[in-house]
């Protein structure tokens, strides 16, 4: 189970995944997993390279997912929804303080990528999508 401080961010991202899946019903769990990996690498490169380019994929549905997840993150930043987590001694990643939003996003995308892979392997090409549909709907 992810740490409580990450749950609102994860829910925002997974809700957007479901929105994009509605628009692109052929979007598979594997594609979502790959997008999460690309976004994790992107935020990792943002830490060391301020001019990092946003991830790109030739697939319309995967690119739409990337764009919309980045929009969700931008909205959360504008509203400062995750700002309280940064350098807060009460919200640690293991033993470490979370020094930036980019670090927070890296942690989030690692969790999401692992979850997508797990549910895909357990329940097939739509396993992750089916899991988050049930999970997000139950919480709403």
pLDDT in tens, the chain (140 residues): 888 999 999 999 999 999 999 999 999 999 999 999 999 999 999 998 777 889 999 999 999 999 999 999 999 999 999 999 999 998 888 888 999 999 999 999 999 999 999 999 999 899 999 999 887 764 54
Strand partners, 93: 96
What are the C-alpha distances in Å from 81 to residues 43, 53, 67, 74? 18, 24, 19, 10
Global pTM reads 0.92
Q: Are 70 and 7 in contact (CB under 8 A)?
A: no
Gap between the Cα atoms of 87 and 45, Å rounded: 20
Class of residue 6 by CB neighbours under 10 A (exposed 0-12, middle 13-18, buried 19+): buried
Instruction: Determine the 3-state secondary structure of 139 from DSSP.
Output: helix
């Amino acid at each position: 189970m992810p740490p409580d401080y990450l749950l609102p961010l994860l829910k925002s991202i997974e809700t957007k995944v479901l929105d994009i899946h509605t628009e692109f019903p052929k979007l598979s769990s594997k594609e979502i997993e790959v997008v999460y990996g690309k976004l994790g690498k992107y935020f990792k490169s943002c830490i060391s390279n301020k001019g990092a380019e946003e991830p790109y994929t030739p697939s319309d549905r995967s690119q739409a997912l990337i764009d919309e997840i980045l929009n969700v993150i931008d909205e959360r930043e504008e509203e400062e929804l995750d700002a309280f987590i940064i350098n807060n001694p009460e919200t640690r990643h293991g033993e470490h303080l979370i020094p930036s939003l980019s670090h927070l996003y890296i942690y989030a995308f690692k969790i999401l990528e692992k979850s997508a892979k797990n549910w895909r392997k357990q329940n097939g090409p739509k396993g992750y999508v089916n899991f988050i549909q049930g999970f997000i709907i139950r919480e709403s």
